[in-house]
Amino acid sequence: MLYERRGDFDGVWGPPRGGLPLAVALSHGLGLPFLPEPKSIKTLIVDDIADTGKTLEKFSLTHFTVTLFYHWQSVTIPNIYLREKNEGWIIFPWEKGKE
């Protein structure tokens, strides 16, 4: 679904740390430029998880958003997410682990 819509976007951006690895991977996979900051409302916004949703909240009404995980308590529901998060901590490969 996302690949078919790649022409709708002018690039990909993700917030530093969690969203950055996914943004870089999607920019390669979709053939879109990675952007150091959102360029316009056509910028695809990606993050690893919408847990509280605060990070994506300012983009939710204006941008297309994508996450790997979504938690029901999030104030923002991404346009696309791969899985719902259950209770517990998710450690992504790009993180050191829970300290």
> DSSP letters of 41-78?
TTEEEEEEEESS-HHHHTTTTTS-EEEEEE-TT-S---
**4 pLDDT more than 70:** yes
Looking at residue 92, its pLDDT comes to 72
- What is the total count of domains within the chain? 1
pLDDT digits (tens, 9 = 90+) for 43-86: 999 999 998 899 999 999 999 999 999 999 999 999 999 988 87
User: Is 96 within the bounds of a domain?
Assistant: no
| Domain region containing 49 | 3-84
CATH code of residue 21: 3.40.50.2020
User: Is 67 within the bounds of a domain?
Assistant: yes
> Residue type at 28?
H
User: Is 23 within the bounds of a domain?
Assistant: yes
Mean pLDDT of the chain: 90
Token pair, residue 51, equals 């847990």
